[in-house]
Structure 1
Amino acid sequence: MDSHRLLTIGLFGFGCVGQGLYDILAREESLPYKVARICVKDPNKLRPLPPENFTYDWLEVVQDEHLDILVEAISDANEAYAIVSEALRRGKKVVTANKKLVAYHLPELLALQEEFGGTLLYESAVAGGIPIIRTVEEYFSNEPVARVHGILNGSSNYILSQIFKNQKAYSEALKEAQDKGFAELDPWLDVAGADSRHKLCILAAHAFGRTLAPEEVAFFGIDFLGHQDWEFAKQHDAVIKLVASVHETADGELVPLVLPSLVRASDDLYGVEQEFNGVVVEGGYSGTQLFKGRGAGGHPTGSAVLSDIESISRGYRYGYKKLQRHKNAAALALDYELEVYLRCPEPDLVVALGLSNLQTVQREADAFSLIGTVTLGNLIKSQEQIRQAGAYIMALSSGFEEVKEVREKESVAWSNA
C-alpha cells in the first residue's frame, strides 16, 4: 500500500468509537488518512454530521474498490460479522473494535484471512487505549506467559470507583457512568462481566495460543452487588474490582474466569480507578508487568483504531505464533479450586455449587453470605443458576489463587510470625 498518498477509509458505525476516530483524524490533518465513506443503519437518527455524509448500504461500501481500509465500529456483533467476513472474502484490509465479534468468530476469521489474503486487526477490541494485544502478540511471542489478568471494562470500574471512593449507591454510580458515555443505556454486557469475558477470550489466543469459546469462560459481574458486600470488602481493608483472568496451571491446563474480586492496597490493580483499565502480564522470564490506560471513551478507543490503521497500511498482520505452535488446545482445569464469597437467598445454590470448607459471614431474613471453596467446573456449570437467583459471588484475591496455594502461603506466614 502506497504510504505517500492519502489513504481512504470506509467507516461502519458512527457511535462512540466511530466519532472518536473521525474527530482524531479531523484534528490531526497531517495524517495520510481520510474517512471517505460512513455507513450507518438508521437514516432517521440525529447525528453530528449532515445526512449527505452517510450511506446506508454496507455491502456497497465493502464493494467500493476505491477504499483502502475498512473500519468496523458498530455494536451489533452479528451484523459486524457479516460485514467483516464479506470484506475478508474480498481480500480487504479490515480493522474492527468489536470484541464480541472476535471472541465468537476468531477461528473463522483466521481461516478467511488464510484463504483470501485479507488482514484483520483488532487492538481496540481489548482495553481501549492500552496496546495490550500487540504487546502480548509481539513482546511475549517467544516467552511463556504464566498469567494474564486485569480490569478490562472501564464502565464497571468507574461504577466501583464511585462506590468505594465517593460512597455513592450502585444505581447512582451506574447512571453517572451512562451520562458520561462510559456505559450503555442497557449496561448488562458491562456490569454482568460478559464484555470482560469477550476480551479475555481474545487475550488468551495471543498469550497462550488457545482460542477459547466464550461458553468455556464462566463470568460473573457486579449487577447484584449490595451494600453488605462492599461493607465486607471494607472490613477486610479491600476494594472490589471486576477482574478477568486466565492462567496456566502446573499441569498445563488453563483457568479462565471473570469474577469480582477483593483487591488490597498491595495489589497491582488497586490503583486502577475510574474508567481506566489495567492488565497484568506475568512472563515466565520477564516477570510481572502492569499496563494501565483509559479503557472507555471515544478518543482512547479511537486512538487504538488509528494505531491499527497505521499498522495495517504498512503491511502488519498478527503472526499468531503461539497458535501456530500449540496445535493441541490446552484443556480447562475444571477441578481447580478457589475460595469465594457468596451471598444468596437459596440454600440449594450452595449444594449446586458444591461449596466446601464453609464459613458463615452473615445471616439475614432473606439471604445469607458465606465463604467457601468451589471448583472452576462447578462455576461454569452453575453460573446461569447463580444469575437467576440474584446471587452475588466474588473471589477473595485478584489472582484467583488455588486454595492449596493460599494455605501454603498462610502456613509460611504463620511459621515466620
Structure 2
Amino acid sequence: MKKEISVCWFRRDLRLSDNHAFFQALSGKYPVLPIFIFDPDILEKLTDKADKRVAYIHHSLLKMNELLNNHGSSIYVFHDQIEKAFEKLTTEFDVKEVYANHDYEPYALNRDSRISNILSSKNILFKTFKDQVIFEKSEVMKSDGTPYTIFTPYSRKWKEKFQQTPLITYPSENLLSSLLKEENNPFPSLQDIGFEDVKNDFQNFNISEERIKNYEETRNLPSVEGTTQISVQLRFGTLSVRDLVNLGIKWNEKWLNELIWREFFMMILYHFPNVVTESFKKKYDKIQWRNNEIEFEKWCKGETGYPIVDAGMRQLNETGLMHNRVRMITAGFLCKHLLIDWRWGEAYFAQKLLDFELSSNNGNWQWAAGSGCDSAPYFRIFNPTAQTLKFDPKLTYVKTWIKGFRVDYLNPIVEHEFGRKRALEVYKKAVNE
C-alpha cells in the first residue's frame, strides 16, 4: 500500500526556515516529502556547463538535505521534465496535496497552470502561497484599482500598507517532526544532470547593522564592499525576504527601498507581461538601433576603451556579478553611446548574472534605455569618464578587473560627445514621431 503524503515543491525558496509553503505543508495532516525538480527545459538553454547558478542551487539543496537528514528525512531531487516528475511521484506515493510558493514569471505561471491541471485530474490539491515578496500582484494598487507605474507613489503606498498589515512569519523550522521519514531519496550529482561542479565562491552576504546603516554612503562605490550582497540569496530564496524587510525597517529606509524596487518590478511584469519583449513606453520601439555586432562583442568582452565600462563587464564575465552603479553605467553605455537594443544587453546579463531575475533585469535595462516605467529621461546620458571620477577616483575598481591597466590600454570605441549627440538625435526622432 502506497504511503499517504503531502509534497512540498521547492523552487525559488531554497531554505527550511520561514518558508510559507513548507510551513503550511508541515501544518497539514500528512507527512511531508520535500522535492526539487531540475527542469531539462530550463537547463538545456544553459550553454555553460560550469554555470554557477546551477552549482549554487545544488549546493543549497545539499545543505538543506543535511538538515533534513538530522530529522530522519531527505529531499527528493528529480532531473526530469516537470510533468514526468509528478507522474513518477504519484505512482510511487499516494499524494494527497502539493504545496508550493508563488512564482510570477511567465514561464513559471504557465508551468504551474499545467501542473495544477494534472494534479486536479488526479484529485490532488495544489496549494500555493506568497513567499518571495511582501506584497504581490495587485496588493499595492492606486485608489482607482490600476497598477502604479511610478516607483515613488508605489513605495509610499507599500509602506503605508506595511504599517497597517502585521508581518506574519512562518516558522517552518519548528515543525520538522512532520516530515516523511525517508533518508535515502534520490539526489543526482551535478555531473548526473550534465553540469560541472565549480568552486563555490559566491560573495558572502553581509546584513550586519553597520553595513545596512552605512548603505547610503557606500552603495555607489564599486571599489569598497559597501552593499549587503544579498541579490543571489534573494534570487534563490536562501534568505527570507521578511527577515530582510524587518532589517530595512529597523536600520535604513534607503536600503529598504531597494527591496521595494524589486517588488515594484515584479508587479510591473505581472500586470504588463509584454515588457519581456516590448518597450514599456511604446514609442521607444521605434528607435532605430544601430545594433553593430562587432561593437556589441567588444562591449561583452569589456573592450570598449572606457575603463569603468570594461571593468564592469570583466567583473561580470569572471564572477557573474557586477556592482549596481556599474550596471547602470554599462547598460546606459550600450543603449545610448552604441545605440544597441536594450534587449541584446538584457539577454547577455540574463546569461551571465548569478542574481538574474527576469523582472528586475528587464526593469533595470528598460530604465537604462529610457523605455521603461519610471525610467530616466532619454536625454540623461551618463558620461563614463565623469562617473569614474565620481565613484572610482583612484581607479581601484578599474585596476582590480583590468589587469595591467594603463591609461591608453585601448582606444575608445566611440567618442563620448559624438555618441551622446547621436543618441539624442535618434531618440528624439523616435519619441517625437
Q: TM-score, normalised by structure 1?
A: 0.34
Higher helix share: 2
In proportion to residue count, which structure has more strand? Answer: 1
TM-score normalized by the length of structure 2:
0.33
